[in-house]
Every structure is written in structure tokens, then in C-alpha cells.
């Protein structure tokens, strides 16, 4: 894989700990976007039906549930937030000042125009949802993104003052305190705690430390010292990837266990069983994992999948319209799509539709 810098030359330089690197594009991020988008899609569409038709015995049923818990769309959203923080902050690290007008216009167009197209498509096909067609897409996550964009200039200024790590620690502690305060309002879904609040500000605040961790990844990968450490440590990324799948299984079972033993609404003990807390912990794991993905894909011996990288360019489209495609297929009698073909047809159609929307 073509790299952006000669590591051997870099290590001979004197100011190893402070020198910064210049990259025009971060390799490996698009494939992560696509994987997270598929993660959300499988949550809403159902995971690939590997265990359908198995014998109705307790052991198979338990395995089927474990398999279903592996696909937790809330975890994927946290991964999206981390990547968002990384991609927003990385181009601005070396800037002496921010052009706020250009920044906000670019972010607004990036966020709103695809959403308008998605809602227009939903209106045309008469998409039905209990909350209205405006929820054809993952509206709450986009509102969180919008709030993060609004406060980003402050984050950028704090990063310039080398205060980013302290802010992450503070906001992480603040998020945990809020989860404790909102004990009576804990729900299984991360964004529904306390009803979400106006513009889902509650979910945005809880997930804000994860978004900031993405900004911290941008800071870390721009320094040669972190790249050197990652270069020496060549442990397999598959351990981290499998670890992410394993940890994503924890949230739902813990929440249901807390409900069963009436622990979920206990301020401190119930914290461990709340999906908000476990998903926040998953976000910190994702921070460590995604940082290694970025460093080893760009400066190590790991090469990303070209196919996934290309598909990842349309991941935002897939993320926006997959609910519409799934709903459309649900309007067709299943007799036309028997067995596993129903899942396969919806998956292929979602992939095709998002490519069309992207183009």
C-alpha cells in the first residue's frame, strides 16, 4: 500500500514527539462507515438468517438470541459519531483560524441536502410511520450531529489549548452523572432516555464524549510519536474487531437482566444495566479500536478493502434510505420472496438504491 510518509526517515528526526504529519485523505475510514451502516441496516432489517429453520430446542434458541444481540445498531451509531469527530477535526488541526461561515455552510449542505432527498422520496412513495414520514431516516442522529457542528469551533479552540483530553474526561463524568440523575427515565434505547429532549439534546450530550474521542484520534494520528508506537505494535486488528462484536452483545442482555431483577431503576447499581452506560463504554472501546484502524491502515502493514472503501462512499445514503427500502418490501406479500430470499432481496435493493441516491 502506498503510504504518505517514509517512516524510516521520520524516526531519524530529532523532534519525534512534536512533529506533525500531513495526510490528504484518511484511508480505511470509508470501509468503517460502510460496516457501521450495514450494522444499522441489519438491526432494522434483521441479521442474515443463518439460524432460521433450526430445531426448536433450548440450545439453538439461545444461540439464535446471542447471534441477534451481536447486531446492535446503537453501537454502530456511536461508531459513526467517533468517525464524525475524526473527519471534522482532522482537516482543521493545522489551521490558525476557522472560517465559520464556510464551515457551517459546508456542514449544513452535507447534512441537510441528502436528508431532504430522503424525505422527498419518503413522501413520494407515501412512507408510513407512527411518528410521521419525517422519521423515514435516523433523524435523531442527524440532530446530534448538527448540535456537534454548532459547538465544534469551541472544541477546536480547546484543542488548540491542549485541553481536549480534559474536556473528554469532564464530559464523560458529566454524562455518567446525567445517566444517574435520569434513572427513572432509562430505556432500552440510548436516544430515548427522558424522551430524548428537545432536538434530542439529551442523547447528544450523553454521546458527546465519544464524538470528542474522534477529535482526539485526529490529534493523535497527526503526531509522529503515536505513529511510531503503533508501528512497533503490530497486533492483529481482528482482535479489536472481534472484541467490538463481543462487546456489542452486552447492552441488550444486561438491560433485560436489570429489568428482570428490578435493578434498572436503582441509581448506582442499575447504572451497569442501563444501555446508555454500556453503550458509552462501548464508545470508549471504539475509540481505541478505530484509532488503531486509522494508524495501521495508513502507516502500517494493513490494507483496507477496496470494495468496502468504494461502497463506503455511499454509506450515508444507505444509512438514510434503508428504512424506506425495508418498509417498501414489507408492503409486498412475502409469498413472492420465500425464505432467505426475502432478506437477500431487501439487502441487494438497499445497496442498489443507496448507490443511485449517491450518484
Instruction: State which residues form the domain around 93.
Output: 7-358
Q: Which residues contact 194 (CB under 8 A, 6 or more apart)?
A: 182, 185, 202
Asked if residue 158 is part of any domain, the answer here is: yes
CB count in 10 Å sphere of residue 231: 17
Name the strand (E) or helix (H) holding 356: helix 341-358
Asked if residue 1 is part of any domain, the answer here is: no
**pLDDT of 287:** 97
- Into how many domains does the chain fold? 1
Pick from 216, 275, 232: which is nearest to 250 by CA? 275
Mean pLDDT of 299-321: 83
Asked if residue 288 is part of any domain, the answer here is: yes
Min mean pLDDT across 5-14, 178-187, 248-257 is at 5-14
Q: Is the pLDDT of residue 335 over 60?
A: no
Asked if residue 184 is part of any domain, the answer here is: yes
**pLDDT of 352:** 57
State the pLDDT confidence band at 192, using cuts at 50, 70 and 90.
confident
- CA dihedral for 216, 222, 225, 228, sign (positive or negative): positive
Min mean pLDDT across 65-74, 81-90, 155-164, 165-174 is at 65-74
Give the mean pLDDT of the chain.
Answer: 80
State the pLDDT confidence band at 159, using cuts at 50, 70 and 90.
very high
Asked if residue 217 is part of any domain, the answer here is: yes
Q: Is the pLDDT of residue 232 over 50?
A: no
State the pLDDT confidence band at 25, using cuts at 50, 70 and 90.
confident
Asked if residue 273 is part of any domain, the answer here is: yes
**pLDDT of 141:** 92
Asked if residue 2 is part of any domain, the answer here is: no
**pLDDT of 357:** 47
Asked if residue 341 is part of any domain, the answer here is: yes
Amino acid at each position: 500500500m502506498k503510504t504518505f510518509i517514509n517512516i524510516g526517515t521520520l524516526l531519524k528526526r530529532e523532534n519525534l514527539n512534536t512533529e506533525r504529519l500531513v495526510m490528504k485523505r484518511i484511508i480505511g475510514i470509508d470501509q468503517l462507515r460502510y460496516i457501521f451502516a450495514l450494522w444499522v441496516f441489519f438491526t432494522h432489517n434483521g441479521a442474515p438468517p443463518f439460524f432460521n429453520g433450526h430445531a426448536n430446542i433450548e440450545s439453538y434458541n439461545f444461540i439464535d438470541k446471542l447471534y441477534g444481540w451481536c447486531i446492535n445498531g446503537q453501537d454502530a451509531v456511536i461508531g459513526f459519531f467517533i468517525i464524525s469527530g475524526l473527519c471534522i477535526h482532522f482537516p482543521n488541526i493545522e489551521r490558525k483560524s476557522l472560517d465559520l461561515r464556510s464551515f457551517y455552510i459546508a456542514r449544513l449542505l452535507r447534512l441537510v441536502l441528502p436528508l431532504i432527498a430522503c424525505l422527498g422520496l419518503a413522501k413520494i412513495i407515501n412512507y408510513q410511520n407512527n411518528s410521521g414520514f419525517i422519521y423515514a431516516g435516523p433523524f435523531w442522529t442527524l440532530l446530534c450531529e448538527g448540535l456537534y457542528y454548532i459547538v465544534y469551533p469551541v472544541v477546536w479552540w480547546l484543542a488548540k489549548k491542549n485541553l481536549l483530553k480534559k474536556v473528554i474526561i469532564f464530559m464523560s463524568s458529566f454524562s455518567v452523572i446525567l445517566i444517574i440523575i435520569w434513572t427513572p427515565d432509562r430505556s432500552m434505547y440510548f436516544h430515548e432516555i427522558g424522551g430524548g429532549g428537545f432536538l434530542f439534546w439529551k442523547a447528544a450530550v450523553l454521546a458527546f464524549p465519544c464524538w470528542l474521542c474522534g477529535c482526539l484520534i485526529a490529534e493523535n494520528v497527526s503526531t509522529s510519536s503515536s505513529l511510531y508506537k503503533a508501528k512497533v505494535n503490530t497486533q492483529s486488528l481482528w482482535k479489536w474487531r472481534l472484541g467490538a462484536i463481543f462487546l456489542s452483545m452486552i447492552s441488550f442482555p444486561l438491560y433485560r437482566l436489570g429489568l428482570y431483577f428490578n435493578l434498572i431503576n436503582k441509581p448506582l447499581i442499575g447504572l451497569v444495566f442501563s444501555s446508555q452506560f454500556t453503550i458509552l463504554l462501548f464508545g470508549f472501546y471504539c475509540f481505541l479500536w478505530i484509532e488503531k484502524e486509522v494508524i495501521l491502515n495508513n502507516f502500517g502493514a494493513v490494507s483496507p478493502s477496496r470494495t468496502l472503501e468504494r461502497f463506503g462512499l455511499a454509506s450515508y445514503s444507505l444509512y438514510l434510505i434503508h428504512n424506506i427500502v425495508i418498509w417498501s418490501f414489507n408492503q409486498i406479500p412475502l409469498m413472492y420472496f420465500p425464505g432467505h430470499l426475502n432478506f437477500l432481496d431487501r439487502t441487494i435493493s438497499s445497496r442498489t438504491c443507496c448507490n443511485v441516491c449517491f450518484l
